[in-house]
């Protein structure tokens, strides 16, 4: 078995992207979680960039004992010296030095010749090597560099003492087949390549970072540089969780390869980064997105309930999530609906399930997701109610600035359909007064309470009312996404209870 080293650069490349800056305490929190995740190397920062970054790298180097701690440095003496100052107390300090090698960067950014860049690379590696045996060299913009020149730079960097050679796709330009071919070219044409670990650092500008990294692994790369949630410059880096779970899930393809990542810590690490930065991952993000283990389609839910492997290629538990989620919505089927009712503790007959399923579908058409509390409200309304003397058929309420609140109510009273309209101080008050007119009741409202059953603007509102009439007190409840309708249902429910009490 061969290990793929995971070089996590969340705290360096990830942290320098817009919106993801962290203070020292926050970087330390993430570093400790990365150690729990068991990353091989964590790049703690770019010490020369700022005093804050220097102090953060230094603090991480002092406190993290299991993972190697890397500090980034340009091929300048001051960068390398500063990097060493920051990481010298680490148990396993790594200096990661880099310089651009593409003709584009040499011509338009560095204003240096190929020979000058080569000299700087050799000098930097030797200087870093004087501090620590763990030196990594990166040829920035390698995928747009002349291949023969790249081979020469890599060979000289290894001669100078680099133990890891990183081939970055700095601007996310490569296509997997092309990138794999580049790695293969280096493996065959750099005479001393066997003396170093070959690494890749892929960006996601074309959405191919993970694909490129995995293609490189097939050709002999044994270290992948990546970030949690795929954060990083521009479109981000190769996502650590996608790399790791691809290798783990497709053991049939990545034969004899493994990582030492504790995959059960993937989701907690992703969540911690989200909480610290305040930037969530997209719901459909692979592995760690909120929908990654959520199923709404009835066909998928049915298959999942019968055998999980039908629609899940990995278990949620393997990344630190307790279980899959069957999301109840308008696409859900009867199997998932019945399973959820059973888990809630309701043993209903097929006829009762059919009645409730229709109510559920009607509700699902009104809101994106139906929660357990929604189902319990439907059950209470459908099966736990007393005989209905009064039934609501239709309700229309009008209210607004400059308009008199009006309610038009159509009800069934002892089997007779009655329709009335009335006014009030607001739409709920108008509805209550019109209902009282239709039913001929003179109840006193003792309590009116509104509660959102679930979160979101499309949540069901649950209304509780308490009425008193002729010395009798009854409580009614109603639930609906329309709060006025929920209020009317609760009021009528209480009237039915009063009627029931007066005859019992």
Give the angle 289-292-294 at the CA atoms, nearest 5°: 120
Listed ranges 254-263, 338-347, 354-363, 384-393; the one with the highest mean pLDDT: 254-263
Q: What average pLDDT score do residues 457-464 get?
A: 76
User: Residue 336's pLDDT is what?
Assistant: 75
Judged against a pLDDT cut of 90, whether residue 302 lies above it is answered with no
Distance CA 76, CA 339 (A): 64
Same-domain status, 362 and 389: no
17 or 238, higher pLDDT: 238
Q: What percent of the chain has pLDDT over 70?
A: 90
Asked if residue 491 is part of any domain, the answer here is yes
**Residues 433 and 477 placed together within one structural domain of the fold:** yes
325 pLDDT above the threshold of 70? no
What number is the average pLDDT over the span 235-262? 96
Summarize pLDDT for 158-195 with one digit per residue, the tens.
Answer: 999 999 999 999 999 999 999 999 999 999 999 999 99
Distances, alpha carbon 419 to alpha carbons 324, 352, 478, in Å? 48, 31, 21
Separation CA 259–CA 249 (nearest Å) = 12
Q: What's CA 68's distance to the chain center, in Å? A: 27
Q: What is the pLDDT of residues 372-414, one digit of tens each?
A: 657 767 776 666 556 789 999 999 999 988 889 999 999 999 9
Distances (CA, A) of 143 to 167, 171, 182, 371: 8, 9, 8, 49
Task: Tell which of 367, 382, 397 closes a domain.
Answer: 382
Q: Identify whether residues 394 and 465 lie together within a single domain.
A: yes
Q: Provide the pairing of β-strand 223-226 with 197-202.
A: parallel
Among 277, 308, 329, the domain-final residue is: 277
348 and 362, same domain (yes or no): yes
Domain residues for the domain of 427 are: 385-502
Residue 381: the pLDDT is 66
Tokens of 175: 């296509």
Whether residue 47 is contained in a domain is answered as: yes
Whether 242 shows a pLDDT value over 60: the answer reads: yes
Same domain, 243 and 309: no
Last residue of a domain, one of 321, 354, 382: 382
Residues 246 and 304 in one domain: no
Instruction: Work out the average pLDDT over 320-338.
Output: 71
347-360 burial, b if ≥16 CB within 10 A, otherwise e?
A: ebeeeebeebbeeb
Average pLDDT of span 266-289 = 87
Answer whether residue 289 is part of any domain. no
| Closest residue by Cα to residue 39 from 15, 64, 13, 22 | 64
Angle (nearest 5°) at CA 115 between 136 and 72: 25
Q: Write out pLDDT tens, residues 6-17.
A: 999 999 999 888
Confidence of residue 271 (pLDDT cuts 50, 70, 90): confident
Number of domains in the chain: 3
DSSP conformation letters of 185-198 = HHHHH-TTGGGSEE
Q: Are residues 376 and 395 in the same domain?
A: no
Instruction: Indicate whether 136 and 262 sit together in one domain.
Output: yes
Specify the CATH number for the domain of residue 463.
3.30.160.270
Q: What is the pLDDT of residue 373?
A: 59
**Band of residue 458 on the pLDDT scale cut at 50, 70, 90:** low
Cβ neighbours of 306 (radius 10 Å)? 9
Same domain, 149 and 271: yes
- Structure confidence at residue 294 (pLDDT): 64
For residues 28 and 151, membership in a common domain is answered with yes
Helical segments of 190-297, H only: 209-218, 240-249, 266-277
- Same domain, yes or no, for 365 and 401? no
Query: Quick one: pLDDT at residue 309?
Result: 76
* 286 belongs to a structural domain: no
d(Cα 402, Cα 379) in Å, to the nearest integer? Answer: 39
What pLDDT is recorded for position 204?
A: 97
Q: Is residue 456 part of a domain?
A: yes
| Domain-located, residue 283 | no
Quickly state the pLDDT bin for 370 (edges 50, 70, 90). confident
Task: Find the CATH number of the domain harbouring 195.
Answer: 3.20.20.70
pLDDT at 193: 97
Q: pLDDT tens, 15-46? A: 888 878 888 999 999 999 999 999 999 999 99
Q: In this structure, is residue 204 part of a structural domain?
A: yes
pLDDT digits (tens, 9 = 90+) for 76-135: 999 999 999 999 999 999 999 999 999 999 999 999 999 999 999 999 999 999 999 999
What pLDDT is attached to residue 313?
A: 74
Residues 47 and 155 in one domain: yes
Predicted confidence at residue 70, as pLDDT, reads 98
331 vs 490: CA distance, rounded Å: 29
pTM for the predicted model, two decimal places: 0.70
* 284 lies in some domain: no
Please give the helix or strand (H or E) that residue 168 lies within, else none: strand 164-169
Report percent pLDDT > 90 for the chain: 66
21-35, 110-124, 290-304, 330-344: the lowest-pLDDT one: 290-304
449: left (phi over 0), alpha (psi -120 to 50) or beta: beta
Place of tokens 């409202």: 445
């Amino acid at each position: 078995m061969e290990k793929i080293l995971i070089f996590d650069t969340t705290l360096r490349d990830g942290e320098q992207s817009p919106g993801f800056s962290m203070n020292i305490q926050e970087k330390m929190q993430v570093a400790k979680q990365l150690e729990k995740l068991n990353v091989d190397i964590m790049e703690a920062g770019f010490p020369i960039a700022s005093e804050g970054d220097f102090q953060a790298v230094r603090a991480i180097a002092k406190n993290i004992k299991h993972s190697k701690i890397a500090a980034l440095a340009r091929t300048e003496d001051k960068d390398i010296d500063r990097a060493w100052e920051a990481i010298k107390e680490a148990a396993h300090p790594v200096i990661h030095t880099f310089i651009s090698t593409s003709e584009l960067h040499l011509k338009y950014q560095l204003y240096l010749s190929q020979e000058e860049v080569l000299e700087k690379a050799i000098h930097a590696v030797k200087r870093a090597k004087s501090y620590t045996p763990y030196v990594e060299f990166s040829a920035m913009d390698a995928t747009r560099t002349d291949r023969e020149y790249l081979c020469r730079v890599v060979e000289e960097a290894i001669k100078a003492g680099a133990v890891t050679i990183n081939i970055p796709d700095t601007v996310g330009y490569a296509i997997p087949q092309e990138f794999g071919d580049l790695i293969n070219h280096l493996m065959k044409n750099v005479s001393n390549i066997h003396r170093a670990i070959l690494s890749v650092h892929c960006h996601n500008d074309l959405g191919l970072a993970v694909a490129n990294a995995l293609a490189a692994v097939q050709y002999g790369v044994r270290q992948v540089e990546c970030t949690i949630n795929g954060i990083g410059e521009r479109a981000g880096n190769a996502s650590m969780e996608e790399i790791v779970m691809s290798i783990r899930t497709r053991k049939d393809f990545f034969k004899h390869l493994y990582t030492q990542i504790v995959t059960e810590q993937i989701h907690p690490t992703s969540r911690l980064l989200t909480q610290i930065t305040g930037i969530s991952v997209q719901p459909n993000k692979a592995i760690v997105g909120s929908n990654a283990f959520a199923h709404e389609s009835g066909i998928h839910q049915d298959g999942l309930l019968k055998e999980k492997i039908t629609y899940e290629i990995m278990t949620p538990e393997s990344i630190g999530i307790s279980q899959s989620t069957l999301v109840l919505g308008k696409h859900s089927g009867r199997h998932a609906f019945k399973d959820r009712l059973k888990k809630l503790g309701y043993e209903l007959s097929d006829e009762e399930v059919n009645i409730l399923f229709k109510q559920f579908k009607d509700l699902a058409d009104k809101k994106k997701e139906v929660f357990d509390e929604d189902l319990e409200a439907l059950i209470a309304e459908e099966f736990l109610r007393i005989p209905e003397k009064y039934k609501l058929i239709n309700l229309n309420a009008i209210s607004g600035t400059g308009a008199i609140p009006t309610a038009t109510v159509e009800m069934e009273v002892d089997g007779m359909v009655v329709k009335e309209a009335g006014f009030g101080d607001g739409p709920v008050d108008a509805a209550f007064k019109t209902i009282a007119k239709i039913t001929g009741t003179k109840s006193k409202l003792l309590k009116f309470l509104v509660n959102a059953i679930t979160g979101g603007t499309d949540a069901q509102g649950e209304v509780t009312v308490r009425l008193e009439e002729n010395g009798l007190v009854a409580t009614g409840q109603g639930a609906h996404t329309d709060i006025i309708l929920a209020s009317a249902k609760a009021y009528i429910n209480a009237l039915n209870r009063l009627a029931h009490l007066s005859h019992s």
